[in-house]
Amino acid sequence: MNKTISMEDKICMITGANSGIGKATVLGLAEIGAKIVMVCRNKERGETAQQEIIEKTGNKNVDLLICDLSSQEQIHKLVSEFKQKYQNLHVLINNAGIVLSKRQLSVDGIEMNFAVNYLAPFLLTNLLIDVLKNSAPSRIINVSSGVHKRASMDFDDLQGENKKYGAFKNYGVSKLTLTLFTYELSRRLEGTGVTVNAVHPGVVRSNLGRDQPTFSRAFQKVFFKTPKKGAATSIYLASSPEVEGITGKYFVSKEPKKSSDESYNEEYAKRLWEISTQMTNL
C-alpha cells in the first residue's frame, strides 16, 4: 500500500464488505482515510466487521448499510437510504459474490449466481449512476474472476435452466456477463469522468467456496493468496492516481490484461444490456 495516497473526503461503497476480499478492501481504503459505506446482507456479520475495521484503522467514518443483493427490492431500498444520507459517491466496488453447488432461485425468481454476481451490480450501478456522475471524477470497480474465461454466452440459457446447471459453469457465466457489462458501461460513460474497470483478484483464501463439497480451509491456507493480497488490485483501482481516467479494462495484479475474446463482443454486450434492463425493470 502506498501510504502517500490519501482518500480523505472520498466516499466509497463496497459490497460484500464483511468477509474475504471485500473486508480487506475496506481495511485498505479506511487506512488511507476514505469514508466507507459497507454493504452487507447480515447485520450481525456486518457490525462485527465494521467494529474490527474501525478499531484497526482508527477511521470512524465506516458506515454500514444492510442489503441482500439477491433482492431487487432491497437494492432499491439501499439506494434510497444511501441517497438520503450522502450527496456524493466517488468509488463503487461491486465485490459481493457467491458460487452455489446447487441451482437456487432468488426472491425475484432469478438463478442466484446470475442475480448476485451480475444483475445486482447492473441494477445497483445504474441506480447510483447519477450520483457517480455528479461526483466525477469517480470510479466503478467490478470484481470479476478469471473463471469468466471458461464460460461462453448462451443467450437461451443464461440461468442454467434449460441445460445442465453447474456451480462453476454458472458462476463463470455470471462473471463473463459482469465483464461484458463493464466494457459496455465504459462505452456509455465516455466523457462523463466516471471510469469502470473489472478485476480478477487471483485465487484467494475466503468464504467463497464454503458451499462446495471440496471446500477446505487447510488447503486454502497453503495454496491461496491472503485476502489482503487479493484486495490489492481493487484498492489500487479505487485510489491510485496512476489509473485516473483509465476505463474499460480488465486488471490482474494491478496490470491491464486481456480478458476472454467473448467478453469484448459488443453485440453480446448490447443484447445483454437490453435483457438486463428488462429483468430489472429499469
Ligand X SMILES: NC(=O)c1ccc[n+]([C@@H]2O[C@H](COP(=O)([O-])OP(=O)(O)OC[C@H]3O[C@@H](n4cnc5c(N)ncnc54)[C@H](OP(=O)(O)O)[C@@H]3O)[C@@H](O)[C@H]2O)c1
Could you give the residue numbers annotated as active site? 171
DSSP output for the chain:
--TT---TT-EEEEESTTSHHHHHHHHHHHHTT-EEEEEES-HHHHHHHHHHHHHHH----EEEEE--TT-HHHHHHHHHHHHHH-S--SEEEE------SS--B-TTS-BHHIIIIIIHHHHHHHHHHHHHHHT-SEEEEEE--GGGGG----TT-TTSSSS---HHHHHHHHHHHHHHHHHHHHHHTTTTTEEEEEEE--SB-SSGGGGSTT--HHHHHHHSBPHHHHHHHHHHHHH-GGGTT--S-EEETTEEE---GGGG-HHHHHHHHHHHHHHTT-
Question: How far apart are CB 224 and ligand X at their closest, in Å?
Answer: 6
| 198 makes contact with ligand X (CB under 6 A) | no
Asked if 18 is part of the footprint of ligand X (rule: CB under 6 A), the reply reads yes
Q: How far is the CB of 267 from ligand X (least distance, A)?
A: 26
Q: Which one of 10, 12, 14, 16 is in contact with ligand X (CB under 6 A)?
A: 16
Site map 152..181 versus ligand X, x via CB under 6 A: ------------------------------
> Does residue 42 touch ligand X according to CB under 6 A?
yes
Can you name the residues that pair with 138 across neighbouring β-strands? 194
Kindly state the cell numbers that stand for 158.
443464461
Nearer to ligand X, 41 or 90 (CB): 41
- Listed ranges 53-61, 180-188, 201-209, 265-273: which one lies at the site for ligand X (CB under 6 A): 201-209
Our CB check for ligand X shows the closer of 135 and 230 to be: 230
Please state, in angstroms and rounded to a whole number, the distance separating the CA atoms of residues 261 and 166.
22
| Residue 22 engages ligand X in binding (rule: CB under 6 A) | yes
- 1 contacts ligand X (rule: CB under 6 A): no
CB of 29 to ligand X, least distance (A): 15
Q: How far is the CB of 144 from ligand X (least distance, A)?
A: 7
By CB under 6 A, name the one of 203, 246, 252, 275 that touches ligand X. 203
* Between 246 and 252, CB nearer to ligand X: 252
Applying CB under 6 A, the span of 75-83, 91-99, 187-195, 248-256 interacting with ligand X comes to: 91-99
Binding mask 109-138 for ligand X (x = CB under 6 A): -------x----------------------
Residue 99 near residue 16 (C-beta atoms within 8 A): no
Lookup result for grid cell 432499491: 76
Which residue of 97, 160, 172, 248 would you call a contact of ligand X, by CB under 6 A? 97
Is 129 or 231 the residue whose CB approaches ligand X more closely? 231
254 backbone φψ class: left, alpha, beta (φ>0; ψ -120 to 50): left
Binding stretches for ligand X (CB under 6 A):
16, 18-22, 40-42, 45, 68-70, 95-98, 116, 143, 145, 200-201, 203-204, 206-208
